[in-house]
Amino acid sequence: MRKLIFLSLAAAIAAILFYLSRFWFLSLWPRSGLFGLDALPPQGGLVGRWLRGTDAAPFELLLWAIGCFLVLTWSQKFYDLVTSDPDAGDDHD
């Protein structure tokens, strides 16, 4: 059961990261935005929208990739922390 929960969590994180990128192509909600919020448009691409007009705009894809790497690394560390067995450590007598 725990594996199913963590697999669902990993799939949700992947979907959120995909939505933040410029590669989101699904229009799953109306133009008014998800839950009526204009900040969550159906076409995704939020990283590009946030960086528009800044000096970092040309590096949108690089910043998105670095963010994905960090989020997935922290997710793995959280998973390892939650599922680690405290009795499985090395015995140093």
**pLDDT single digits (tens) 37-52:** 777 888 888 888 888 9
Give the whole-number percent of the chain exceeding pLDDT 70.
91
Is residue 89 in some structural domain?
Answer: no
Is residue 93 in some structural domain?
Answer: no
As a whole number of angstroms, the distance between CA 36 and CA 38 comes to 6
Please provide the average confidence, as pLDDT, over all residues in the chain. Answer: 85
The whole-model pTM stands at 0.74
Is residue 48 in some structural domain?
Answer: yes
Is residue 90 in some structural domain?
Answer: no
Query: Based on the structure, what is the number of domains in the chain?
Result: 1
- DSSP code for 74: H
Residue 64: other Cβ atoms inside 10 A: 20
- Quick one: pLDDT at residue 91? 58
Give the domain range for residue 25.
2-82
